[in-house]
Homo-oligomer: A and B are copies of this chain.
Amino acid sequence: MDYPRAVPTVPPTNAEPLRADSARVRARMLRAARERLAAGDLELPMNAIAKAAGVGVGTVYRHFPSRQALLEALAAERFALLVDVAERAAVGPDVAAELARLLRAALEHQRADPALAAVLAEPDAARPETRELGEALTAAVERLLERARATGVIRPEITAGNLQALFCGLQHTVRVGGGTGTDRYIDILLRGLRA
């Protein structure tokens, strides 16, 4: 792919709220995109989304300057839920149980939302919101990890980066394996991380 890169005509973050009609149009596009995702179309063709939402393609690009930006907007909600799980895990009482819970949540949210799986696997965020979510996730995982090291639930050399890469690998394993055996793969991973 070596198309000329899109130049955003609108900053992806909007401090001031959108105009009511603009917000409505935006919601329509996101709904249309989600419907296609739910119907199993991971490609998210911009033209098709525009048509389904009843807007011109240009409007899709005005709101989401690239397909990556659209994916991130779609994933944002579940990404925030995952960060929430990680932050609770970081302060929960039983570190081992919290880590298991976090792995399970990472897997389940990626399964439920392919956009999140794509976003987590992509190192560079197109939107600043996504970068912030990623940093929040890393920070929470780091805090959980510090406690996990102290209790021997995780060997000291494992980093937050390792763990987040494993979130993605775990999801890929389950998907290639036909979507079954989640608990078994989580179990393998938890044992493997143990000191």
B123 touches A178 (CB 8 A): yes
Task: Using CB atoms, name the residue of chain B closest to A120.
Answer: B176
Nearest-Cβ distance from residue A15 to partner chain B, whole angstroms: 32
Residues in B whose Cβ lies below 8 Å from that of A158 = 184, 188
Nearest-Cβ distance from residue A48 to partner chain B, whole angstroms: 12
How many monomers of this protein are in the complex? Answer: 2
A166 touches B173 (CB 8 A): yes
- Residue A7 lies at the interface, judged by CB distance under 8 Å to chain B: no
Q: Number of contacting residues on A, CB 8 A?
A: 33
Residue picked from A164, A165, A174, A178, most chain B C-beta under 10 Å = A165
- Residue A194 lies at the interface, judged by CB distance under 8 Å to chain B: yes
Residues in B whose Cβ lies below 8 Å from that of A185 = 162, 165-166, 169
- The CA-CA distance from A123 to B169 in the complex, in Å, is 17
- The CA-CA distance from A34 to B179 in the complex, in Å, is 32
Take A43-B1, A189-B192, A191-B194 as given contacts and tell me if A157 and B184 are in contact as well, using a CB distance cutoff of 8 Å.
Answer: yes
